């Protein structure tokens, strides 16, 4: 009996040692792989830039920013990150979880970005500067278009027990605070009326060109666009292999592909134009960059993606000139607007650092449109910085 106990204790010690050695080997192996593997700048799977190794500074160590950046760097550059993310997401699905990285997995495989709260300082700062800005530019026509996200319009597709912000109330509060400073364009009512149609992508946070085309009808009425300048457009499928940012961000629906439609005029009705990307110093004769269809971010087909400033000149006989403050939701709306304006200046405040008042004065801008999706407007205050006197 004593011999058996001794044998069992000895066997237990051997197993513990083997387990410790294997565990150490795994840790050491991962460390070696991480050291040997070259850092990546961009993740195709997540469709974003990855954190690079931070520079060691005394101030960074003192205020803790170095360690924060280094932890993010380690997580972003971890060997086999994409595979581990897939395993994590699949395990959470088995456990019944339907939310990952702020993305809901809704009914029918629809991915929806979690709405952002409007309780922070970003909203108040943006609204205050918009009112001040309109006051300094009397005589211009101001319009405000805030597009709700899919989680508001398609809320019946949200997973059970999902907790979200009420964007209908949020938009109502924004409209009230802006008052008479701008003319409000009601995208929410239009999209609610067409909620049974494909007005949002299933794997991406953007609205579709169908959604934009429906809201353009409201824009046309509010902005009183002259019918003689408006060119009729028709949808054409340009790719069936689009997988959006929400799929990349969440890890859900990794094999689902969607169709992107571009709305194009008939050949004899096309508005001749030149799109000048001011920072890049490039010019092209189209609103579409078809080279983007061969890459991961196919939504960048529209305008070639986001740029600080685009200067669009057309041969339209319209006397009106438009300035748009926007996020990427505007990119697929601009093709509907170009025929109604002689010139369109497109400013993305997230990347723009020049004098916007000078831009207005030098170009004789007559109309100014703010076009954002709700999440960007509530979560980012770069607009207020650009509008300040």
Are 202 and 112 in contact by the 8 Å Cβ rule? The answer is no
Whole domain around residue 14: which residue ranges? 2-85
Instruction: Cite the DSSP H helix spans in the chain.
Output: 2-36, 58-63, 65-76, 81-94, 121-136, 150-153, 167-178, 187-193, 209-222, 245-250, 334-337, 356-363, 374-379, 382-387
CA separation for the pair 336, 215 (Å, rounded): 10
Residue-wise pLDDT for 199-251, tens only, equals: 999 999 999 999 999 999 999 999 999 999 999 999 999 999 999 999 988 88
Q: Are residues 172 and 321 in the same domain?
A: yes
Q: For residue 323, report the phi and psi dihedrals to the nearest 5 degrees.
A: -115, 130
- pLDDT in the model for residue 349: 96
Whether residue 77 is found in the same domain as residue 117: no
The C-alpha torsion from 80 through 82 and 83 to 89, rounded to 10°, is 140
Q: Which pLDDT value is given to residue 84? A: 64
Tell whether 294 and 205 lie within a shared domain: yes
Q: Is 199 contained in some domain?
A: yes
In a domain, 222, yes or no: yes
* Same domain as 230, residue 373: yes
- Is 100 within the bounds of a domain? no
In this structure, are residues 203 and 243 in contact, taking their beta carbons and an 8 Å threshold?
yes
pTM of this structure:
0.82
Same domain, 344 and 258: yes
Q: What is the pLDDT of residue 36?
A: 58
Q: Note whether 65 and 147 are same-domain residues.
A: no
Is 81 in the same domain as 112? no
Identify the pLDDT of residue 122.
85
Same domain, residue pair 23 and 135: no
Q: Decide: helix, strand or coil at residue 101.
A: coil
pLDDT at 227 (0 to 100): 94
Do 44 and 149 share a domain, yes or no? no
User: Residues of the chain whose pLDDT is less than 70?
Assistant: 1-8, 11-12, 22-50, 70, 73-86, 90, 93, 96
If one counts the domains in the chain, the total is 2
61-67 long-range contacts (CB < 8 A, ≥24 apart) are: none
* 93 assigned to some structural domain: no
> Are 76 and 146 in a shared domain?
no
Q: Say if residue 172 is in the same domain as residue 313.
A: yes
- Print the SS3 string covering 166-202: CHHHHHHHHHHHHHHHCEEECHHHHHHHCCCCCCECC
Q: How far apart are CA 208 and CA 295, in angstroms?
A: 19
| Residue 90 lies inside a defined structural domain of this protein | no
Domain shared by 174 and 63, yes or no? no
Question: Within a domain: residue 99?
Answer: no
pLDDT at 43: 60
Would you report the helix, strand and coil content of the chain in percent, each value rounded to 5?
A: 45, 20, 35
Last residue of a domain, one of 53, 85, 117: 85
């Amino acid at each position: 009996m004593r011999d058996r106990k001794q044998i069992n204790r000895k066997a237990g010690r051997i197993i513990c040692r083997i387990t410790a050695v294997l565990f150490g080997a795994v840790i050491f192996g991962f460390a070696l792989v991480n050291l040997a593997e070259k850092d990546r700048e961009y993740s195709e799977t997540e469709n974003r830039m990855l954190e690079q190794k931070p520079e060691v500074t005394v101030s960074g160590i003192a205020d803790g920013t170095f360690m924060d950046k280094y932890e993010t760097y380690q997580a972003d550059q971890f060997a086999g990150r994409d595979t581990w993310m897939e395993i994590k997401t699949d395990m959470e699905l088995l456990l019944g979880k339907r939310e990952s990285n702020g993305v809901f997995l809704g009914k029918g495989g629809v991915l929806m970005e979690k709405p952002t709260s409007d309780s922070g300082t970003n909203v108040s700062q943006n609204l205050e500067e918009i009112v001040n800005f309109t006051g300094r530019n009397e005589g211009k026509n101001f319009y405000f278009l805030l597009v709700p996200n899919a989680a508001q319009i398609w809320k019946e597709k949200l997973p059970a027990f999902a907790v979200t912000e009420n964007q209908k109330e949020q938009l109502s509060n924004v409209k009230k605070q802006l008052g008479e400073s701008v003319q409000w364009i009601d995208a929410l009512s239009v999209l609610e009326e067409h909620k049974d149609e494909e007005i949002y992508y299933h794997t991406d946070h953007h609205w579709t060109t169908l959604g934009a085309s429906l809201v353009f009808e409201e824009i046309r009425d509010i902005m009183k666009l002259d019918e003689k300048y408006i060119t009729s457009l028709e949808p054409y499928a340009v790719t069936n292999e689009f997988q959006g940012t929400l799929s990349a961000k969440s890890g859900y629906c990794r094999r689902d592909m969607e169709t992107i439609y571009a709305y194009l005029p008939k050949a004899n009705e096309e508005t001749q134009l030149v799109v000048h990307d001011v920072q890049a110093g490039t010019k092209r004769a189209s609103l579409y960059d078809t080279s983007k269809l061969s890459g991961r971010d196919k939504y960048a087909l529209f305008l070639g993606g986001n740029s600080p400033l685009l200067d669009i000149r057309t041969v339209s006989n319209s006397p009106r000139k438009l300035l748009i403050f926007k996020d990427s939701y505007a990119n697929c709306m601009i093709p509907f607007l170009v025929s109604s304006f002689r010139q369109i200046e497109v400013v993305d405040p997230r990347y723009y650092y020049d004098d916007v008042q000078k831009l207005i004065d030098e170009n004789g801008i007559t109309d100014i449109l703010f076009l954002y999706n709700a999440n960007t407007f509530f979560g980012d205050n770069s607009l207020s910085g650009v509008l300040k006197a």
